[in-house]
Amino acid sequence: MSIHLGDEAPDFTAETTEGSIDFHRWKAGKWAVLFSHPADYTPVCTTELGRTATINSEFEKRDVKTIAVSVDPVEDHRGWAPDIRDVGGTDLNFPIIADPDRRVSALYDMIHAGEGDTSTVRSVFIIDPQNKVRLTLTYPKSVGRNFDEILRVIDALQLTDAHPVSTPADWTPGDQVIVSPAMATDEARQRFEQVEEAKPYLRWAAYPQS
């Protein structure tokens, strides 16, 4: 089953390095990043999980819980954890789901038949506090993901949920934003600083402060 933006993130129960979890209950009204990797004890995956552990406090600051998944069993995940710490420099500080029967992987369509074997590709799902899927990304097995990009998207989603704005190409926090097309320019000038009309349909505003 493929998952589309706006869908409810499928719920599941699974064994993890932190015990059995019920996904929706585990995330409990927070944002979540659910991401898959092909296999334990592999180089790219080790760098990705190490990086996630190192910046996990950045996810926590944004009220986001991180959780990884692969088709390897929980004993392998536990045995691999010291390597993740050695490579990334931080103890594993988020759960890894063990999915040897491929239930979670199938639910989230993380196994792509054309990609060689029955392991998961590098999928990412950003899921909001209401359990709605807000972003999906799929990377090939040979290419590690950019976790700063995942934080950037979370910042953009949280900002655009809070204000009638969008974010332009290559936006980073603090940059100008785009006023929603639904808002008249006069109203935008009352709500935002430094509103500029580049085109009738493209109005810039300063980064909203509150």
Q: Which residues are catalytic?
A: 45
Q: Which of 10, 15, 18, 39 binds ligand BEZ (CB under 6 A)?
A: 39
200 binds ligand BEZ (CB under 6 A): no
Cα–Cα distance for residue pair 205/136, rounded to 1 Å: 28
158 binds ligand BEZ (CB under 6 A): no
Amino acid at the residue 186: D
Task: Please give the sequence-ordered ranges of beta strands (E in DSSP) within the chain, or none if there are none.
Answer: 13-16, 19-22, 31-36, 64-70, 96-98, 122-127, 133-139, 165-166, 177-179, 196-199, 202-205
Site string for ligand BEZ, 68-107 (x = CB under 6 A): ----------------------------------------
In the block, residue with structure tokens 């936006």: 171
Nearest approach, Cβ of residue 198 and ligand BEZ (Å): 43
Output the CA–CA distances (angstroms, integers) from residue 2 to 69, 91, 102, in the order listed: 17, 33, 15
Q: Which of 9, 44, 104, 110 binds ligand BEZ (CB under 6 A)?
A: 44
Q: Which of 2, 142, 190, 209 binds ligand BEZ (CB under 6 A)?
A: 142
Report, in angstroms and rounded to the nearest whole number, the Rg of the chain calculated over CA atoms.
Answer: 19
- Contacts with ligand BEZ by CB under 6 A lie at 38-39, 42-45, 141-142
